[in-house]
Amino acid sequence: MSLKATLTRRINARRFTFLAKLHVWEERQDIQHVLQAVQDETGYLNNLPIRLQNYMEQEGLVKQSTLTEKGEQVLETGCFPILEQGIYNIWYIQQDSLIGTCPIVMQRIQATDKPNAFMGKLQTLPDELEFNQAMPVIEAMDKALENESSAPINIERLKIQDHQGIPGETRLNTLTWHWDDILQNQSETQLEGVIDVPLSNNNNNRQDNKRAKNNSVNSVQLDLSQSYDSELTPVLIALLQQTANMAWQVAHQRAAMTLEQLAQYQKNCPQIKTGFMLDELTVENFDSEQYGHFASAKIEQLPVMPATPADAKSWTQQLLIEDWKKEYQRENDLLDSQRKWYEHPAIHPYALQSRQAYDWIPQLSPQQDAEAFWHIAAPFDLNPS
């Protein structure tokens, strides 16, 4: 069972431009190979050139011929923090009620031969980035943060400490969250959106400039792994209650559905009656009390169950009648067919008890349920005793 959800709404994404010295993690297999040799071979460091030994120690990769924590990280990832200074753009979602403050994209800007014009390469922040936490891709080298030079920069702290920072435009963007499986603790989450990236062209050709202008909006897609099992449940409950009038049964991990709703959704999803699974539920515009307004929502593979004991009894009776119409029922067949449905996870919570043929016959109509009535009543006709 895999319950999926897609939530979409308009959200603020802000750009911030700043001048700073940063550590950017870049792939350095040469340093990784040296660190591997230092770890594997005793005395290897002492056989290296003195300048290389000093460099490894100055960079905090080794200490007393042993890898430091930083050295172990470089060995494991193959990436080394390279110091650079430049102008950077960073886009982030600001104080969203669902994910808080979340950095999404960073861009290094390079000057062109035109004044006030910049070109840059868009860089998606890494998959391991977690919401509401510091950014693992950069480290502070600003004098104002001298005592914290090894600590990752937090978005809000960066805005306060870097006096040369320039707040950029705040624009509404359509962002969509995809939860692969709400019922699992580790649900793969994808954040999508379109942001305005200020790219320019140093070519004077009008056609090229027009093309560059048209291409100034870049579609950015991020895959951020995060557990939303506990956080998304209130949204799911509000969505089902307000838009579909269904209650979410937390204990059974299913949406409660009446017989009237079953008939309604069975038109588009015929297998819901026997599979207890609604393929898709889509809605427009709903408000969750805790996480705000959403423009649209889609739930896929929604597990359902009867809303009340009476619904469960009527629902399973319909299923049994369909089964009994197919073939003659011996006594054991009758009991097995009931257990098949009564033990289903969607019906089992109501603890329905199997009954004998003589208990069922008065409830079956010979006119409407002719085949089922005949198959279940035939043994009495053939063997009156």
What does pTM read for this prediction?
Answer: 0.64
Tokens of 209: 């400039």
pLDDT tens-digit profile of 237-276?
888 998 899 999 999 999 999 999 999 999 999 999 999 9
Question: What pLDDT sits at residue 97?
Answer: 78
Mean pLDDT score of the chain, rounded to an integer? Answer: 75
Tokens of 229: 């099992």
pLDDT tens-digit profile of 173-230?
677 777 777 776 555 566 666 666 655 444 444 444 444 444 444 555 555 444 444 4
Cα–Cα dist 152/138, whole Å: 6
Residues ≥6 apart with Cβ < 8 Å to 164: 18, 19, 20
pLDDT tens-digit profile of 101-114?
666 666 777 654 44
Angle, alpha carbons 327-331-333 (nearest 5°): 45
Question: What pLDDT sits at residue 236?
Answer: 86
Question: What pLDDT sits at residue 209?
Answer: 45
Cβ atoms of 28 and 80 within 8 Å: the answer is yes
The residues that bridge with 284 in the sheet, in sequence order, are 296
pLDDT tens-digit profile of 278-310?
999 998 988 887 788 889 999 999 999 999 999
User: DSSP labels for 308-360?
Assistant: SHHHHHHHHHHHHHHHHTTS---HHHHHHHHHHHHTSTTTGGG-PPP--HHHH
Cα–Cα dist 33/28, whole Å: 9
Cβ atoms of 140 and 88 within 8 Å: the answer is no
Cβ atoms of 128 and 135 within 8 Å: the answer is no
351 exposed, middle or buried (CB, 10 Å; 0-12, 13-18, 19+)? exposed
